[in-house]
Amino acid sequence: MRKIFMAFLGVVLLLSMINPAYTNNLGEAATSEGETKSTAIPVTATAALKGELTDYSTKYYKVTMPDNGELSISMANTGDSIDVSVWDSQGDDLLAILDSENEIGPMKTTMGFAKGQVIYIMIDGYGESSKYDIQLGFKAKGNFEKEPNNHIAKSQLLSLNTKTSGYVDDDMDYRDYYKFTLTKPGKVTVKLSNSKQGELYFGLMNEDEKDYDYLITNPLKSGSTSMEIGLPAGTYYMSVSGDSLSNEQIPYQLELKFTAGTNYETELNDKKAEADPIKLNSSYQGFHNGGYDNDVYSFRLTKKEKLKFSVSDSVDIMTVENGERELEWVVPEDTTSGVATKTIELAPDTYYVRINGSSSTPYNLKVQSITAALAASKVTVKNNYNKNDSVTVSGIQKENLIKVYDKSSGGKLLASKKSTGTSTTFSIKQLSQKAGKVYVTNTKAGSLESARTAVSYKAEPSAPLKASQVKITNNRAKNDVIKVSSIKKGDTIKVYNKASGGKLLVSKKSKGTSVDLSVKQLSQKAGKVYVSITRSGLLGSSKTAISYKAEPSAPLKASQIKVKNNKGKSDTITVKSIKKGDTIKVYNKASGGKLLVSKKSAGTSTTLSVKQLGKKAGSVYVSVTKSGLRESSKVKMSYKKE
């Protein structure tokens, strides 16, 4: 289309040399109605423009917008040589061209205008007789692109937190410009959506058109893409340009959101002289643009401090610098936690954090001071018997947060308290029955938790077993087994029949991390035993109650079962030599399978009826469940065909 337009301009230039009256068709003196801009025919924004041009003539129409909205111009392809061009009110900006000769089918363009704006539609015929049939349409609309905005000097001002719709194409309207103003720093989120195939390019720039960041949509399908960037207060410019796969207009929607805040990276901050100042113990969000980006931050220390640097693993590399000297660096790909960290002790001075990245994913940065560790002499631990244990920490400041852990790293947080004075005491229900250690930390307001200080304490009686450590198998026709796991070599396990006093059923010292104790008979029915552990040098623990299930019922014998596969009536399974209350179940498989029938016996035998076992010979599987016991194993019983 641009080639057509350049040819059109060449024709205009040639005609101006032949006929001076043709020069600048938008401004020549009036000859007759509609032949020049000054004699343009006024029409409404919904008018139908039909006519015929003879002897290479031109016709002008003038449209005044009735409201804010979008004007559509549609032209049927008559096969004639017709060019339709749309100009602004000054005749300075050529906004669109429709060319009937080189297009197949109807042509349409849509443009947004402000209320009261005037445009001119110029129709040129390139033949002795050229017919035209043009339909105008208008739709009132808010938050839309307003022409002309094809130059940065004519950028359309957008409000923050709004959505704006517009159009671009490969021809005259291939780029739209916008601008917005921030009165305070913060994060700007831009979302660009295209509702038709065709690539859209978005650029965020300054008034010299230097890019801060950019977006490119997928040219093969509709959809949206977005970006985030931190910016200081100021005025910024945006452009949207298109590359249509079908030489048609690409409708788009531009959404602009703003979140005020001082904890965002603000472009441009690529050099130390442009570094974003940051505060210790505060989080900052940064944004790498679509290409390789270099972000620099700075802070100053007035005293020697140990600092923890944390950065998202989406960045390529982070370095800590002092003047021109690189002190430490972090390659986040070395981590798998999502965050890369580095702890450094630094003297008073000014420092810079440089973050390089090629991913457009936002990242987080935090530089935190670490509280000095407590001295072990400032911590006293009392491991009391049969009452709460205590941990006392002295020599601290008011509002310090003290924490007590059971391990040197990770582990369980046993207690946590903010001090109301220069010392604080914790009451802890149970540290451990054996001798051990607690690990205590100190955290000053606004700083990170200190390293853990290990403090030893003496032992008390053994810790009782957990029910999950003990498994009981109540066997039929052989000894029952009590298995205790997650213990230590040398631990003594004792099993009693009562919670208090009672009979010692069995006792055994472990030779490893688990032990099996054998009891001739616990009980055929479900019940409980009470298990204790005694560790070397400690008293015996309290008893842990462990429930066990009933023994399985003795399986039926084949001689007790008779199966009849009847023809023309229900099949039967008869079981004899059982007791009243026994439950008989019949399955179609040895393992799992379908329960065919179940019945509780009313006497010493019972008959179960099944509508159809099968016409052919087969097998069923029969179990018995005696009162108070578990279901027996299944007995296979074959039956003949009907």
Domain that holds residue 361: 272-369
pLDDT (0 to 100) of residue 79:
65
Q: Any idea which of 193-202, 258-267, 560-569, 587-596 has the lowest mean pLDDT?
A: 193-202
Residue 553 lies in a domain: no
Order of strands across the sheet with 339-346?
Answer: 283-286, 363-369, 305-312, 339-346
> In this predicted structure, what is the pLDDT of residue 291?
66
Same domain, 12 and 134: yes
Are residues 96 and 33 both part of a single domain?
yes
Cα–Cα distance list, 423 to 429, 431, 442 (Å): 20, 20, 12
Structural domain includes residue 94: yes
Calculate ∠ Cα 631-635-641, nearest 5°.
Answer: 135
Q: Which pLDDT value is given to residue 358?
A: 82
Q: How far is CA 299 from the centre of its chain?
A: 31
pLDDT, mean over the chain: 88
Residue 26 falls inside a structural domain: yes
Task: Let me know whether 44 and 136 are in one domain.
Answer: yes
DSSP E strand stretches across 436-575: 436-443, 453-457, 470-473, 480-484, 492-496, 504-509, 515-519, 527-534, 544-548, 561-564, 571-575
In this structure, is residue 266 part of a structural domain? no
- Please check whether residue 620 lies inside any domain of the structure: yes
Q: In the predicted model, what is the mean pLDDT of residues 218-227? A: 78
pLDDT at position 245: 59
The verdict on residue 281 lying in a domain is: yes
Residues 35 and 135 reside in one and the same domain: yes
Query: What's the average model confidence in pLDDT over 184-205?
Result: 86
Q: 82 pLDDT band (50/70/90 cuts)? A: confident
CB 313 within 8 A of CB 340: yes
User: How many domains is the chain partitioned into structurally?
Assistant: 6
- More confident: 11 or 522: 522
Same domain for 60 and 104, yes or no, is yes
Looking at the structure, tell me whether residues 383 and 364 fall in a common domain.
no
- Write down which residue in 214, 235, 260 finishes a domain: 260
CA-based end-to-end distance of the chain: 88
| Residue pLDDT, tens place only, 409-441 | 999 999 999 999 999 999 999 898 788 999 999
Query: Is there a single domain that holds both residue 481 and residue 502?
Result: yes
Q: Give the total residue count for the chain.
A: 642
Same domain, 113 and 26: yes
Asked whether residue 200 falls in the same domain as residue 169, the answer is: yes
The per-residue b/e assignment along 485-522, b for 16 or more CB within 10 angstroms, e otherwise, is eebeeebbbbbbbeeeeeeebbebebeeeebebebeeb
- pLDDT interval class at 16 (50, 70, 90): very low
Percent of the chain surpassing pLDDT 70 = 91
125 and 21: one domain?
yes
Of the ranges 123-132, 205-214, 406-415, the best mean pLDDT one = 406-415
The 10s digit of each residue's pLDDT in 585-596 is: 999 999 989 999
Order of strands across the sheet that contains 595-600:
595-600, 583-587, 618-625, 635-639
Span 486-495, mean pLDDT? 96
Dihedral over Cα of 143, 148, 150, 152: its sign: negative
- Per-residue pLDDT band for 30 (boundaries 50, 70, 90) equals very low
Average pLDDT over residues 30-48: 86
In whole angstroms, what is the distance from residue 64 CA to residue 213 CA?
38
Mean pLDDT confidence for 460-478:
91
Please say if the pLDDT value at position 194 is more than 90. no
Please state, in angstroms and rounded to a whole number, the distance separating the CA atoms of residues 586 and 573.
Answer: 8
With a cut of 90, say whether residue 536 has pLDDT above it.
no
Q: What is the CATH number of the domain that holds 49?
A: 2.60.120.380
The pLDDT of residue 144 is above 60 = yes
Last residue of a domain, one of 345, 369, 393: 369
pLDDT at 174: 81
Determine contact, residues 467/392, Cβ cutoff 8 Å: no
Question: Is residue 460 in a domain?
Answer: no
**CA count, 13 A, side-chain hemisphere, 376:** 8
Question: What CATH number is associated with residue 625?
Answer: 2.60.40.10
Residue 417 is assigned to a structural domain of this protein: yes
Evaluate if pTM is beyond 0.85: no
In a shared domain, residues 25 and 130? yes
Residues 7, 119, single domain; the answer is: yes
